Amino acid sequence: MDDLNASQRAAVVLVALGPEVASKVLKHLSEPEIESLTINISNLRDIPPEIEQQIMKEVYQLLQAKHYINQGGVDFARTVLEQSFGMKRAGEILSRLETSIKTTGFDMLKNIDPKQLRNFIQNELPQTIALILTQLNPQHASTVISELQPELQSEVAYRIATMEKISPEVISEIESVLESQFEPSGMKDLSISGGTKAIADILNLVETSSEKVILESIESQDPELAAEIKNLMFVFEDLILLDDRSIQRVLKDIESKDLSVALKAASEEVKKKIYSNVSERVAVMIQEEIEFMGPMRLSDVEAAQQRVVEVIRKLQEEGQIIVSGRGGKDEIVV
């Protein structure tokens, strides 16, 4: 087994798991990783059953170790693993995980209940809360921001949207506070990525009522910033999130020329969504118009798509359509 490198061992694991599971795993890997694994899988020849069993056992032990670390930290994991496999083997397993088990104060927040996190950060400065929320995934961050007081929601959202590069000293100071509040841990390089895209991703998942209050507040401070955030919150390809009734309502307000131009560079999924909500005759007319257009500048196509998006945003704000796939509960508009 020592003759097999890490990629070859991974190939053995994927083959053992079977095509269905292996295909799901590959979706989470980079192209170079997929290429390396594919080559190694194709080159696998007569791996003895005992070697395969040993590799699968090793993977199981590594997964166990990660589970114990998540439950109670490195020391807890070491104690349990030593009881299960002995001191030497436990040390080997933890050594293999050394680079991946180091967590920061920010990492700890990812497993904390949003209400508990709200209680912890609500008395912090808005810029501190903003920095912390940029370290969470959009779904988690949207839940936390929804728990804050309305006036604080708006201020935090504005801070995220206008956030620039944060000094390492400030990051370390905030992280130290988080680590002392929760659980001591290792350190790793941090990347704080705020800006309009970050807050747009978060607002896409908050309740519509909270989103409206936050955007109105930002608009009163900086109309251009609010417009930029709105443009990022719903992109043309998000048309697939609309139900059929909403699609039909949107189509009433869109210029036919804009629709044809917008669809010229659209995905097949979006085209299918549109064609399924118009008559067969209209669908054919749109397709023919797209074909007759010939080559177009991408900027012209994107401008048409943006006009479609503006119609959708307007109808959504008026409560005439609902964009599905949004997080949280929503008010019912009768």
**Signed CA dihedral, 130, 132, 135, 140: sign only:** negative
- How far apart CA 17 and CA 56 sit, in angstroms, is 10
Angstrom CA distances, 283 to 174, 242, 280, stand at 56, 18, 5
- How far apart CA 156 and CA 133 sit, in angstroms, is 9
- Is residue 41 helix, strand or coil? helix
Give the pLDDT confidence score for residue 182 in this predicted structure.
57
Alpha helices in 86-134 (DSSP H): 87-96, 105-109, 114-121, 126-133
Give 292-313 as a DSSP string.
HH-S--HHHHHHHHHHHHHHHH
- How far apart CA 35 and CA 31 sit, in angstroms, is 6
Average pLDDT over residues 180-198: 53
Please say if the pLDDT value at position 278 is more than 90: yes
Confidence of residue 58 (pLDDT cuts 50, 70, 90): confident
Cβ neighbours, 10 Å, residue 97:
15
Please say if the pLDDT value at position 98 is more than 70: no
Q: Are 222 and 271 in contact (CB under 8 A)?
A: no
**% of the chain with per-residue pLDDT over 70:** 76
- How far apart CA 269 and CA 63 sit, in angstroms, is 38
Within its chain, how far is the Cα of 143 from the centroid? 14
Q: What tens digit of pLDDT does each residue of 203-244 get?
A: 777 766 677 788 888 888 888 888 888 777 777 888 888 999
Name the segment(s) of the chain with CATH classification 1.10.220.30: 105-221, 235-317
Give CATH for domain 235-317: 1.10.220.30
Tokens of 103: 């967590």
Please say if the pLDDT value at position 65 is more than 60: yes
**Is the pTM here over 0.85, yes or no?**
no
Work out the angle at residue 92's Cα, subtended by the Cα atoms of residues 88 and 93, and round it to the nearest 5 degrees.
120
- How far apart CA 114 and CA 187 sit, in angstroms, is 24
In residues, how long is the chain? 334
Give the pLDDT confidence score for residue 237 in this predicted structure.
82
CATH class, range 105-221: mainly alpha
Residue 45 corresponds to which amino acid? R
Please say if the pLDDT value at position 330 is more than 50: no
Give the pLDDT confidence score for residue 319 in this predicted structure.
83
Q: What is the mean pLDDT of the chain?
A: 77
Q: What tens digit of pLDDT does each residue of 119-151 get?
A: 888 888 888 888 888 878 788 888 888 888 888
